[in-house]
Amino acid sequence: MSNRLIIGALVIFVSGHAAWAEDECSKGTGTGVWAAEREFYVPPVPLACSRVYTCGPAQTTMSSAECRRVYHYPPKQTIVGVCSAARGPADSCNECLTNPPSDPCEWHWEHI
């Protein structure tokens, strides 16, 4: 009889452990911020420029190694902006004036 009790407890633990792993990944939607890369691309005629933005968490988050982030929109997006000479020569492009992507920076977690 004690063997049945041990086997029953193991079955409950194993099935409960799998459910816990699923719950760890199903935290709903995560939201973050778009971060612009420092470097930007300037075409030969500097009227416009482009910069890459990356979607990421606003702060470091911990999650299970069993989970992966699945983005709702591409996590990297290239945005076209306007060149500004800033403090340089009038015909140069020293700053690329862009706005972050209009898509929200969102993801959800999936079990691997």
pLDDT in tens, 9-65: 444 444 444 444 445 676 678 899 999 999 999 988 768 999 999 998 877 666 678
pLDDT value at position 111? 85
The count of domains in the chain is: 1
Can you give the residue range of the structural domain that contains 77?
Answer: 2-111
Residue 92 has pLDDT above 50, yes or no: yes
CA–CA distance, 22 with 27 (Å, rounded to integer): 9
DSSP-assigned letters across all residues of 40-102: -B--SSTTEEEEEEEEEESS-----TTEEEEESS-SEEEEEEEEE-TTS-TT---EEE----S
Q: Which two tokens stand for residue 83?
A: 């060149």
pLDDT value at position 12? 45
pLDDT value at position 112? 82
> pTM for the complete prediction?
0.71
Q: If residue 107 lies in a helix (H) or strand (E), which one and from where to where?
A: strand 106-111
pLDDT value at position 46? 67
